[in-house]
Amino acid sequence: MAASNRTRQSLLRGNLDYEEYAALHSLPLGCPSLTFDDNDDPFVHEGEVFCRYADPQTGVLCGLGNRGALRTHLKRQHHYDQIAPSGHGVGQFNSTVRQRVLIWYNAIMTTHRAQAAALQQQQLNLAQAQAPRAPPWPAILLPDGELDLVRMQTASVAVGRESPCAACGLAELDGCDFAVEEGLLCENRDLWMELPGERTPTPPSTPSLPSTISSLSSARNTPLSQRSQEL
């Protein structure tokens, strides 16, 4: 006497592939569509939950999960008169059929695990690509090639820096210019790459040659007693 459907499913319990399949909420990734016997009746394996009927136009699998009523679903919704016995032609659920069914579950779950891992890696790569890049950042430039100080200052503040920083504040700047001002290095310069060369303090201006000559001439024309008094 053939074992009941519940008894047959219980015989699959304890198999890791089947347990993992039974815990899914939808068809395994890469799951094949139904196969058929010589009478065009679909095979349904013991313990199957999700419908593998393929739409004849799109090839998309039905995927409806109806634990314990898959055969009824195939007859009522997809209009199959008969469902082929499990094990591809072996009627009784004996050890041979069980082994064939477990091989099938192993095959579909091996495919599912590989595709799930690939999908997870793809999603991780996408998330990393969309994540904000950590500094240092390339310098933001205006169309004329000058630094876009407003956007660079905004980005600096967004990562917890102050603008102006202490150095740029001492130089009495309204915001950081990411350079060297009066010998002080901007503290937010490390956030940026490809910055132009550091500015160096402007040396004290030297008198022009004509003014120097004029001063010497004036000194020569001043009486010695007057120059002594000036000293």
* pLDDT score, position 26: 93
pLDDT in tens, 193-213: 877 654 444 444 444 444 444
Phi and psi torsions of 21, nearest 5°? -60, -50
Phi and psi torsions of 184, nearest 5°? -105, 130
State how far the Cα of 116 lies from the Cα of 147, in Å rounded to an integer.
Answer: 46
CB-hemisphere CA count at 13 Å for 108? Answer: 24
Buried b / exposed e along 34-68 (16+ C-beta atoms within 10 A): beeeeeebbbbbbbbbbbbbeeeeeeebbebbeee
Q: Return the higher-pLDDT residue of 26 and 224.
A: 26
Phi and psi torsions of 80, nearest 5°? -95, 130
Chain centroid to CA 93: how far? 47
Among 33-37, 137-141, 174-178, 214-218, top mean pLDDT goes to 33-37
pLDDT in tens, 65-115: 876 688 899 999 999 999 887 654 445 677 888 888 999 999 999 999 999
What's the whole-model pTM score?
0.54
* pLDDT score, position 2: 43
